[in-house]
Structure 1
Amino acid sequence: MSYLTQTLQTEAGHQIVARVFPPATDSRAVVIVASATGVAQSHYEDFAHWLAEQGYTAVTFDYDGIGLSIDGHVRNSRATMLSWARYDCPAVLDFVEARFPGQRRVWIGHSVGGHLLGMMDSTDRIDQAITVAAGTGYWWHNSPPTKRIAWLLWYGLVPTVVPLAGYFPGRRLNIMCDLPKGVMMQWRKWCLHPQYAVGVEGEVLERRFASVQTPITALAFSDDEMMSARNIETLHGFFTAAPKKMLTVRPDDIGCRRIGHIGWHKARYRALWEQVFRAELAA
């Protein structure tokens, strides 16, 4: 099974790259997979192929400054997380609406991909949302494995390295991937505030979260080394008008030793897709 590559123009003038995984039969719905911070869309390929096998049209994409959406060098990107929400996500929705008119649209947001639901100007074109391991990044509430190193990252490494390099050299540091300066510095501000992005950006962002009425299923993993239950509950508490269902999956539930924050989208977690995602998508 193959995919089609699409270059999408944003209202800000930059381009992002998306991939479309078509089903072999008539499409049941379009499922947009929005990546975690610093995770290229290529990592979601196994999951996208599975979605296509189930009869869904799967769409993955890279945010500005990530993966295939890098123009020259990541230091050239002026992206922030808010620009991802303002320009990149709407460009994907515009494409889906034009290419697949009339089809139900599902947003599966991994980590920051779930945050972006509350940061877009509007989500009225999204019929259903599934957030995966999506919680606030406030470091004091992070799960213990991440909390132990978060203070070093946010108080030491990022404010020292990013201004000097002009971007976050994640590959060289073996911490995530390379990230645009604006993304990393904005993320740092948010992760130092108990109310995360809403606490920093204020009433405008609070209203955006509160305006979302799309039904949300919040999927959490009990062994997530980054997101604690408190992180996840705080984030979804900002969606005051959206119908919400909270699900927590333990590794034992799907016959695995570990799930964690990154990796659920790989083929070894097919049992998770069959037992959880299939039911939620069909609901």
Structure 2
Amino acid sequence: MPPETAASTAQPATVETITFDAADGHPLEGTLTAGAGDGPLALISAATAVKRGFYQKFAESLVTEHGFRAALTYDYRGTGGSQSDRFKPRHISMSDWAMRDFPAALTRLEQSAPGHQVVGIGQSFGGQALGLSGVSGRFERYLMVATISGYWRNIGGGWKAFASMNLIASPVAAVLGRVPAGLGLGSGLPGGAFADWTKWCRRPDYFFSEPRFDAKSLYAEVRTPILAIGATDDPWGTPAARDGIMRHYINAPVETRWLDPQAAGGPIGHLDFFRSRFRDTLWPEPVAWLKGEKRS
């Protein structure tokens, strides 16, 4: 008999667009993919300027192929489907994404199957958000993909990024109140969040000296096991950039790993871990870790 494939053992799932509110009333939009499996619930938090749809194939794989009960992707406020005329883009802080939107999405996910174990997956800012959220204790495990400090001198091609953000996008944001798609910075950003990002990327300690919140103390509260993975061909994700974030998770058990694009079968870069072409090469080990299974 031929070996079983993921397609032949796939379980059915429902995919639903949902809306829910953050604690301050900002409406958020997400996609809830749910099945009948006994596995954990998974919250998937995006990188900066990446819409939730980018993660849908991964979310569906968790539910249909790996037995997760449900997976939720969502757009941060001011991006994708999470926009509101009542909240001006200039007044949206990047910290709102971590401290308001992230906890609201977690609560909505938990409501889909009360009492189920919850794990998290965060790409880039989605990994930074765990430390700022104040709700890390509700996760059994947390997978971080390409999570780095954005300090421009530590990232590959830093001068190019610095010029793009400060000399091109910043003047546009000052006039429009937001950064539109097409400027080389992803799918667009609200002006306030972009101003935070630009400011933090100029600082060697990123947001760890931000006066509006005590990031060092918040990160020290995290005790959730973390697996932080990065690709050796990620132009931004240098060892120094990754250490700029991970060294602040001082009380969490952190395991780090580098992914080899040659072994994976193609370029990975900063974002492409979640491309479905890596379903059989890059996804299985981290997913097994999220489920608490032993790796070979």
Task: Find the residue that maps to 1:233 and give its secondary structure.
Answer: helix
CA deviation string 1:100-126 (max 9, x = no partner)? 111111110000000001111231111
**TM-aligned CA deviation for residue 159 of structure 1:** 3.1
- TM-score norm. by structure 1 comes to 0.92
Task: Find the residue that maps to 2:137 and give its secondary structure.
Answer: coil
CA deviation string 1:225-264 (max 9, x = no partner)? 122111111201011110100011111222x221001122
Aligned match of 1:233: 243
**TM-aligned CA deviation for residue 174 of structure 1:** 4.0
CA deviation string 1:179-231 (max 9, x = no partner)? 00111000011100111111334871110011111110001111001221111
Runs of 4+ aligned structure 1 residues displaced above 4 Å come to 72-77
From 148, 168, 190, the equivalent of 1:180 is 190
From 14, 17, 24, the equivalent of 2:26 is 14
Provide the C-alpha distance between the structure 2 equivalents of 1:78 and 1:14, rounded to a whole number of angstroms: 12
From 33, 43, 48, the equivalent of 2:44 is 33
CA deviation string 1:56-94 (max 9, x = no partner)? 111111110111112259964632111111211111121
Provide the C-alpha distance between the structure 1 equivalents of 2:235 and 2:282, rounded to a whole number of angstroms: 20
Aligned match of 1:261: 270
Is the alpha carbon distance of 1:73 and 1:12 closer, same or farther for their aligned partners in structure 2, counting shifts above 3 Å? closer
Range 58-67 or range 197-206, more displaced: 197-206
Matched AA of 1:6: I
Tell me if structure 1 keeps the 8 A contact 2:37–2:63.
Answer: no
Tell me if structure 2 keeps the 8 A contact 1:138–1:195.
Answer: yes
Range 213-222 or range 158-167, more displaced: 158-167
Question: Which structure shows the higher helix fraction?
Answer: 1
Range 203-212 or range 180-189, more displaced: 203-212
From 17, 23, 29, the equivalent of 1:5 is 17
Tell me if structure 1 keeps the 8 A contact 2:124–2:144.
Answer: yes
**TM-aligned CA deviation for residue 274 of structure 1:** 4.0
Structure 1, unpaired ranges of 5+: none
Range 28-37 or range 194-203, more displaced: 194-203
Provide the C-alpha distance between the structure 1 equivalents of 2:287 and 2:105, rounded to a whole number of angstroms: 23
Provide the C-alpha distance between the structure 2 equivalents of 1:118 and 1:93, rounded to a whole number of angstroms: 14
Tell me if structure 2 keeps the 8 A contact 1:85–1:116.
Answer: yes
Tell me if structure 1 keeps the 8 A contact 2:122–2:144.
Answer: yes
From 136, 155, 160, the equivalent of 1:123 is 136
**TM-aligned CA deviation for residue 128 of structure 1:** 0.8
Tell me if structure 2 keeps the 8 A contact 1:137–1:227.
Answer: no
Structure-to-structure mapping, 1:147-162, within 5 angstroms: 147-162=158-173
- TM-score norm. by structure 2 comes to 0.88
**TM-aligned CA deviation for residue 95 of structure 1:** 1.3
RMSD over equivalenced CA pairs, Å: 1.9
Structure-to-structure mapping, 1:161-172, within 5 angstroms: 161-169=172-180, 171-172=181-182
**TM-aligned CA deviation for residue 55 of structure 1:** 0.8
Provide the C-alpha distance between the structure 2 equivalents of 1:4 and 1:154, rounded to a whole number of angstroms: 35
Provide the C-alpha distance between the structure 2 equivalents of 1:160 and 1:274, rounded to a whole number of angstroms: 40
Task: Find the residue that maps to 1:258 and give its secondary structure.
Answer: coil
**TM-aligned CA deviation for residue 278 of structure 1:** 2.8
Aligned match of 1:135: 148
Provide the C-alpha distance between the structure 1 equivalents of 2:150 and 2:32, rounded to a whole number of angstroms: 30
Aligned match of 2:117: 104
Aligned match of 1:242: 252
Matched AA of 1:98: Q
**TM-aligned CA deviation for residue 7 of structure 1:** 0.6
Aligned match of 2:5: none
CA deviation string 1:154-175 (max 9, x = no partner)? 4312332211121112x24243
Tell me if structure 2 keeps the 8 A contact 1:74–1:178.
Answer: no
Matched AA of 1:17: E
From 36, 41, 55, the equivalent of 2:67 is 55
